[in-house]
Amino acid sequence: MEKLTNRTFDTWKSWTEQIKGDLQNIANYRQMYEYFFNMVKANLEHIRENDGILFCDFVRGCYGVYAATGIRRHAKIDKDKNSISLMKLLDQLLKGASQFTYQFYLRQFPIEMTTGNCGNLLSKTLVRINRRFR
């Protein structure tokens, strides 16, 4: 694993957005498929009378291929630099886990001090924690 940098972390953040969108699409299509399936069950006699079974089989097959392709895409670790997958992200996070330090965390997510007693107490506590882990 290469050195963990802000650029690497930003890349991972952008990957998570892409992965989230892909997996959300799979979930959305699953809901649409369930709705379609319920409509077919409710109207099965009409569908049979009008030769709609072929169309229903086509929709079922298309959904199955779409879901399997989406899952497979995220289940493999591709060596291509441009590919994005959940397993690739998890693999890189695992390899770089030892580089996640409190200091790196603070660089990525700076603490914004608020006004008032709560903010002062929080800032004093975080300063003590930061000193302890240096």
**Maximum CA extent, the chain:** 76
Radius of gyration of the chain (CA): 24
Q: Where are the domains of the chain?
A: 6-99, 101-134
Model confidence, pTM: 0.69
Average pLDDT over residues 10-19: 93
How is residue 24 written in tokens? 């959300």
DSSP conformation class of 72: H
Read off the pLDDT of residues 75-129 as tens digits, 9 standing for 90 and up.
988 878 788 999 999 999 999 899 988 888 888 888 775 555 555 556 666 666 6
